[in-house]
Structure 1
Amino acid sequence: MFSEARAKVGHRLAMHLRVDLFRLRNSTPMVSFTFDDLPKSAVTTGAAMLEAHGARGTFYVSGSLVGADAPDWVAGDADDVIALHRRGHEIGCHTFSHLRACDLDETAMRQEIMRNRAYLRALDPSIWVDSFAYPFGYGSYARKYQLRKEFQTCRSIVQGVNSGGVDLQFLRAVPLIDREMDRDGIDRAFDEAQTNNGWLIFYGHDVIDRPSPYGCSPALLAHALAAASRRKIPVLTMAEAMRCARG
């Protein structure tokens, strides 16, 4: 019970206390589509839908989950990671063992990052991982300083559109999850990004007609992609968007 209470406090502190303030300098609103844990349907259906729009996504990979089916989906395998990378999608870090940041001390986090990077580089030496997402969405104030030295961005699952001054170690995101988001909600998120010249980040998992509680249907993804196209908002990977954010 104590450890869970400590984890919640660390997460709340991570939400509200910035390591430093970064001022977004993007010249236009932008959107990123991110997928966690490498479900096979995200690799196939999700990536193909992005590519049909001339876009690419960011796939946060935990090496220990590659090829390991989850209760809610069939997992992608090592060949899928390589294929995504070679097709221009970004591979991000989700720790190797898919452990919450709040459960790792500095040494353990360093080992998780090093192990995941080594695993991915063994698949293809040209894979360079510069983006991080918190497993299970749990942040850690203590680890934010460490992660700042390792990654350009750290994505949370705390809802919101990023604009103005932001915390790069705790970027807000919007669920692309059928159980949590509908088409009107997607449109409102795009409206906010357009009004505030913001960076809208979607997160999800599987992309299938009957998605898990953590995934989306192809129809919902198609609506989001169409919304970006109608508004002429570029779809960028996290790394691409960060380059634009630097001005």
Structure 2
Amino acid sequence: MNSLANETNGLGLAGTGNSGILGLSFPVEASIPDTSGTTLLENLFSPFNESNRYFAIKLGRDQDSSSFSIGELDTAFANSTADFTYTPVYPAAPSIYDYWKMPLQSLTINSTSFHLSDSRVKGSSTPIAVFDTGTTLILGPADDVDRFWDSVGGSRKTDNGWQVRCDRAMVLGFVLGAGDSAREYFVDPADLSWIEGGRQGDWCMGGVQANDDVRVARIFATPT
């Protein structure tokens, strides 16, 4: 659904050169009631057949290396939907969906398995990850994040969160999905020692930070 916003608070849109926010969540989380119309996502998908109802986002490190497509592939990254791995969205309740969520089976650091705390989502045997392009960092429970950086080494905890040495290299993988659709996805090392987030000498902001206030176990920014 498209609408004009006459006023925004605390978003800093003017300072970042942005003019708005594009929300692609499910109808149950829409701010506008369904009695007023359908959501933007439903409207965007309506012209497409079932096999083409998808969107793809690539967040680059500059304005020239990002892409957003609806019902069409960006050939710089994929040539056929046959390359897709299909995983059902984890529901908030039977047949009710709120956010783009997937089961998080495990995490690996340099190919070594890292134990995660139990799921905070009732009825789920594994932690649940939420994908949110509006979240810059990977967020998780403080206990898990503290153990993660202790395992990585070359890191320190400050009043503003975790920092890691800017030249600290690691291979971080997340095993996402369920059953036959589960597969490991790797994070660009540049997203783990995040120079863009601020630098203090040889120390950079860590790309994984603690947040115990979220309703689910983990929140992921869309990978670069």
Shared fold per TM-score greater than 0.5: no
Q: Which has the larger radius of gyration?
A: 2
Task: Give TM-score, length-normalised by structure 1.
Answer: 0.23
Greater share of strand residues, 1 or 2?
2
**RCO comparison, higher one (Cα < 8 Å, 6+):** 1
Structure with greater helix percent = 1
